[in-house]
Copies of this chain bind each other. A is one copy, B any other.
Amino acid sequence: MNMPKFYIYEKLFSSSAPQIEPPATPAKYNFIGGHNDPQSIPIDGLADAAATVLKREGHRLAMYNLGEGPRGYSGLRRFLGHKLASHRGISGSPDDILVTSGSIQGLDLVNRLLIEPGDTVLMEMFSFSGALNRARAAGAQVVGVKVDRDGMRVDALEERLATLKREGVAAKYIYIIPTIQNPTGSVLSLERRHRIVELAREYGVPIFEDECYADLAWGIEAPPALFSLAPDVVVHIGSFSKTLSPALRIGYATADPRFLARMVAAKSDGGTGALDQLIAAEYFEHHFDDHMPRLKKALKRKLGVMVEALEREFGTGADLWVPQGGIFLWLELLGHVDVRDLSQPALDAGVAFDPGPAWACSPEDGRSFLRLCFALPDETQIREGISALANACFAVTGIPARGDNRPR
């Protein structure tokens, strides 16, 4: 199509219309985003599930929401009810669950219900960039809460809540990723969970719990979800993006039934894709308990390769936050490196990574950090990519001076 000069829309855009973003540069060594392990997609299992579920439910595709209403496919909500009960300590009926189009929609729905411009929300000081950006786009000020390698620090949370209270600010929620935190990979202890729930009640600030990675813990037995401890003050969301596929858009939410009903009212998208729902439900109904150990084994192996490569290439030049599971490794480059200076040289060397500042409530806190996804590249790509990253880093910063036991 030729691009005409006349542009009728020129003066018609609303003041909040988003600008065009440049397309991402494809990188040979792709450590960005939340992609997963291609070899762990259960292709045959999904094809079998498709055949079975289409035969059983196919005629219902003629109706919006399969004729079931806006909460999502009942078979999927039934599976989720079982999974949440057996894996996350959450009891409840399928009617207490809302299927969402990815957990991102869960974020949007909660923000839609709670946030007005000028509001305040709390998050771990390092957190999911999507949650940060969406809260900000809704007009919220995001206040960071200090974390350590065991997750959100409860003393820091209490101090923040007390300060906000003194200032007369009613924060709208405490967003937290307690189990395999993104990006730090930490798992919050049961003791901290109980204390955070107490603080939420004491200060009247609900908890917004994101458990997208909770089924991918292998280094530790994940304590029960915050929602299981206090369903009255926690909104709980999760996703199939990390357990099955991020290209499928399936997430879920559970909360106080009155709050969940308002999330349903806000979900005005005509439903979540039916084939995504039907096929994922049918597959997981029968294979969740064999798929997950297989996937975790593959991810654990790739993490091992990445940790080994980082230790070899960066030595003491990097401080690794080795995760308890999941798909991300968070690390700090020592020597006051600013990773924003490293992004383009790394891309030039074929390496894409996520820079810490985009994952930090206060970007400066993340200046020396970067997040690497180890799930997508194969083992050779991980080794070569980390080596290329170390070389690019050395060229820019002089760090790390040694790699592979040799000086650069």
Contact = CB atoms under 8 A, between A and B. Distances in A.
A47 interface: yes
Interface of A: 1, 3-4, 6-9, 11-21, 23-24, 33-41, 43, 46-47, 50-51, 54-55, 58-67, 69, 91-93, 96, 101-102, 104-105, 112-116, 119, 134, 170, 172, 200-201, 204-206, 231-233, 241, 244-250, 256-259, 261-262, 264-266, 268-276, 279-280, 375-376
A274 B274 contact: no
A43 to B, nearest CB: 4
Query: In this complex, which of A16, A40, A201, A249 has the most chain B Cβ atoms within 10 angstroms of its Cβ?
Result: A249
B46 A54 contact: yes
Contact of A51 (B51, B55, B69): B51
A245 B58 CA distance: 10
Question: How many identical chains are in the complex?
Answer: 2
A147 B368 CA distance: 63
A47 B54 contact: yes
B265 A249 contact: no
Contacts of A114: 9, 12-14, 17
A245 B61 contact: yes
Nearest to A40: B62
Contacts of A91: 1
Contacts of A250: 273
A265 B19 CA distance: 6
A274 B245 contact: yes
Contacts of A33: 64
Contacts of A66: 247
Given A8-B233, A47-B51, A273-B273, 18 more contacts: A1-B93, A8-B205, A9-B259, A13-B114, A13-B262, A14-B112, A20-B261, A21-B265, A35-B62, A35-B63, A37-B62, A38-B60, A40-B62, A47-B58, A63-B247, A104-B269, A134-B268, A276-B276
A246 B65 CA distance: 8
Contacts of A170: 11-12
